Every structure is written in C-alpha cells, then in structure tokens.
Amino acid sequence: MLPALALLLSGLRWRGWTVLIAGVLLCGGMILRAFLWIPLGEAAADGNFAFTPEYLTAIYYPTYCRLDGLIFGVLLAAYRCFHPEHWRRYADPRLTLCLGLACVFASGFLFHFPSTRFVGGPALSFVGAVFGYPLFSLGCALLLSASLSWERLFPTWRVPGAAMIAMISYSLYLSHKMTSHAVQLLLSPESLTGSQGLVIYYASSIAGGAVLWWLIERPFLRLRDRLLLKRKLTASNHMLAKAKSLGGR
C-alpha cells in the first residue's frame, strides 16, 4: 500500500499531509503496542519477560506493530530527495551520528526499564515496547543519514565490504530468517549456537541475500532503468519534434 499512498500524497498541494500521516501511524503504533503488552506483562511475575512466542506473535512480528522503521526511512528518503538544499544545510553527519548513537543506546535502556537485569532478550518491558521501538528506529535513521554523507565525515576512511552489504541489504533483510531456518533444518537446531553458529549464521545469511539479489532484485532494477531511460528518450523526442514544428511555423 505504501507506493499507492506515496502517489496519492504526491498529488496534494499541502505537503504537511506526509508528516501528519506519519505522526498518526507512529502514535497509533505506540498505543497499539501498549494495549497488546498489558495482558502479556500481567502474566509475568516482575512485569518483564523473555522473548516468548506470545510476545513475538503479538508485538514483535506483526507489520502493524513495527511500522516505526518504515516511517522514519520513508521520511528520511523524502527529505533527502525532495529537499536536497535543506539536507546539505541541516543534516550535518557529525550531529546525526552522535544523535543516532545516543538514540540507539537510550532505546537499549528503555527495552529493559524498569528491570535492572537482562531477562533473555530485548524489547521486554512496557516502556520498551511502547517507546523503545520508535526511539531505536529514529536512531537507525539518523545513523543512516550520517552514513549517506560518510565522505564528509571520514573522507579517507573506507569500510571493506560495506558497499556489498549495502547493495544486497534489502534482499538480506527479506531472506535472513528463511536462510537461518533452512540451515537449522539441514544441519541441526543447535548449529547456530555459540561462536561457530554465529559465523554460520552470518555467512549463510549473506549468501542467501546475495543469491536473492542476483536472481530477483538485480534483473528488476535493470528493467526499471531501461524503462526509465526509454521514457526519458520518448519525452525528449516529443519535445524535440514539438520544437521543430514550432520553428517551422
């Protein structure tokens, strides 16, 4: 639904609709997670609990509970594409890097507040479920903003492998869960535990994402580029023909 919504909003004169809808979705997600968390928290002895199937099913997995990252990502892309002069002026990578790190670390604290101990995983407390996700998503968006201006921040520093990971990142995101489940089925449920399991998990996830990118994403990106180029050439030829027609008159 997001592309259709973007097309609809692009035709409106008042650009504030974008920010308004994003704010409503953000606040709606916080309220929804609060109501979904209450029965889960009441079932826990200290109001905090580990990554249980109930929590995963109710809050962690559903798209309607986890729109925070999508919202901030879309707003970041829109701001950078449609207001490049403001982007260069206000999105100082040194500032966004510091604020992003602060938001990520603060969200880690909120995920366990008011518990003073780790109880098996993140996003366990009421405060974390309601406020932790949007704060973490905002931090990631700010870090992404800083990385987009990496040359301004660290002009001579190159991170090996970063370009490849960035290229396959969406395919990696879509496939990493399926890849890890496939590895467990092929090897054993314990194959992804310990330091050796961590290596297997990352290697298999990156390989799965690369395969998906090569077979699906890359061909369609090339098709998109050809269609856009064809559209531009058609528009240019039309303008050229119209100019010749006017000139002949």
Q: Which pTM does this prediction carry?
A: 0.70
Same domain flag for 136 and 202 = no
**Which regions of the chain are under pLDDT 70?**
3, 10, 42-51, 113-124, 152-156, 247-249
Query: Which residue stretches of 83-168 are H helix?
Result: 84-90, 93-112, 126-127, 133-148, 150-153, 162-167
pLDDT tens, position by position, 162-180? 788 889 999 999 999 899 9
- Residue 44 has what pLDDT? 62
In terms of phi and psi (left: phi > 0; alpha: psi -120 to 50; beta: otherwise), the region of 3 is alpha
211 and 136 in one domain? Answer: no
Do 18 and 84 belong to one domain?
A: yes
> So what's the pLDDT on residue 120?
45
Distance in angstroms (rounded) separating the CA atoms of residues 153 and 146? 8
pLDDT digits (tens, 9 = 90+) for 13-39: 777 788 888 899 999 999 999 999 888
The reply to whether 71 and 183 lie within a common domain is: no
> Considering 157, 173, 189, which residue would you say is the last residue of a domain?
157
Q: What pLDDT score does 249 carry?
A: 56
Q: For residue 4, give Cα distances in angstroms to 1, 8, 70, 82.
A: 5, 6, 15, 18
147 and 175 part of one domain = no
Same domain, 15 and 48: yes
186 and 175 in one domain? yes
> Are residues 167 and 80 located together in one domain of the fold?
no
pLDDT value, residue 26: 93
Q: Give pLDDT, residue 122.
A: 46
Domain of 58 in residue numbering reads as 1-157
- Could you tell me the two tokens for 116? 């003073």
> Are residue 145 and residue 162 in the same domain, yes or no?
no
Rounded Cα–Cα distance for residues 128 and 223 (Å): 42
Do 136 and 177 share a structural domain?
no
CA distance readout (Å), 223 to 19, 216, 226: 32, 11, 5
What pLDDT score was predicted for residue 138?
Answer: 95
pLDDT in tens, 66-91: 899 988 988 888 888 888 888 888 88
* Packed helices 133-148 and 16-43: angle between N→C axes, nearest 10 degrees: 140
